[in-house]
Amino acid sequence: MTEQPFSLIPFISPKIPDLKIKGTVTRQYNLLTIHYGLTGKLEEIFLPSLSVNPARKDELWKTTCFELFLAVKDSPQYWEFNISPSGDWNAYHMDAYRRIGFREETRIQKLHFEIQKDKNALVVGVSVDLNPIIQVEQILEIGISTIIQTKDGDETYWALVHPAPHADFHLRESFILAMAG
């Protein structure tokens, strides 16, 4: 089992909410688990309501959304997982940078969620079985990010690193965590 802690930093913006986003990502064979912890002034953040029947949905990034990017080392293809605090989710596959060969990843049928919220913290935990898309012996390159939307409608972009002059979670230079199976 490999476990790595992470802390996300905001892309420079005039209105960055007073938050901290930290967590852990764990890979045990081909089960990947990520926990995002959001603390701070949650009352300023727009958090979608919990879905009665969480489901696969598009355009989750248009509001507060946790994101996970996975790539196999030395391969241009990668996967994007969108994880809403509502419990809704989606997974996409791209053959190369930004929407080249973009399609919903239908081999991933389900994500296992754990959501805990109180007035000071939100914890979103997700587990995904990678067997349908990745071989256990392959080394993963991982990017972790979050879009935070305030109740005023402002958006900020948080990631492990921001290697470009604009926020771009799809850049492979931002997939800085490596994990073996």
Q: Over the chain, what is the mean pLDDT? A: 96
Q: In this predicted model, what pLDDT tens digit does every residue of 98-133 receive, in sequence order?
A: 878 999 999 999 999 999 998 889 999 999 999 999
Q: What is the CA radius of gyration of the chain?
A: 15
Confidence of residue 181 (pLDDT cuts 50, 70, 90): confident
- Residue type at 161? V
Q: In this predicted model, what pLDDT tens digit does every residue of 59-81 receive, in sequence order?
A: 999 999 999 999 999 999 999 99
Task: Give Cα separations from 84 to 5, 65, 71, 126, 166 (angstroms).
Answer: 21, 5, 21, 10, 23
Q: In this predicted model, what pLDDT tens digit does every residue of 32-50 receive, in sequence order?
A: 999 999 999 999 999 999 9
Report the b/e string of 74-84 with b at 16+ CB within 10 A. eeeebbbbbbb
